[in-house]
């Protein structure tokens, strides 16, 4: 699930997410706090998404991450380094790959902690730089 302004989009696979982001690349994508846990669970439960990553080689995974990263990278005027919005989210995707062979409950907790630890920082940055809807 992705939020673009007030619009809710449900994307069940990486291609749909990439297509959506390309079409809306100048809008901010924000997940409300109460929706983040639902989104985590949906990603984990989505067999199509899990198997898509499970069947990819390390190189293919890197290519996929690179492609998404290139689409979502935001260049800031205040820094020579681009603000890498998607990096922390892709860490979550990495963990989704790992949970296929781990205890699900423990892994869900790890995913949520990792996402939450960076979410406020990302949202604060976007709020300062762009017109972001805060839920």
15-24, pLDDT tens digit by residue?
555 565 555 5
Long-range contact pairs involving 106-111 (C-beta distance under 8 Å, separation at least 24): 107/44, 108/40, 108/41, 108/44, 111/40, 111/44
Q: What pTM did the predictor assign?
A: 0.23
Look over the chain and give the mean of its residue pLDDT values, rounded to a whole number.
50
- Average pLDDT for 76-91: 44
- Average pLDDT for 99-107: 48
Tell whether the model's pLDDT for residue 60 goes beyond 60.
yes
Separation CA 44–CA 89 (nearest Å) = 14
DSSP 8-state symbol, 9: E
């Amino acid at each position: 699930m992705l939020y673009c302004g007030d619009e809710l989009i449900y994307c069940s696979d990486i291609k749909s997410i990439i297509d959506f982001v390309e079409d809306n690349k100048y809008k901010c994508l924000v997940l409300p706090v109460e929706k983040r846990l639902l989104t985590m669970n949906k990603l984990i439960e989505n067999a199509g998404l899990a198997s898509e990553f499970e069947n990819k080689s390390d190189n293919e995974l890197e290519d996929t991450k690179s492609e998404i990263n290139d689409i979502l990278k935001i260049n800031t005027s205040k820094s020579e380094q681009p603000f890498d919005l998607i990096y922390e989210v892709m860490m979550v995707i990495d963990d989704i790959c790992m949970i296929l062979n781990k205890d699900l409950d423990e892994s869900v907790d790890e995913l949520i902690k990792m996402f939450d630890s960076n979410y406020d920082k990302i949202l604060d940055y976007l709020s300062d730089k762009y017109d972001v809807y805060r839920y």
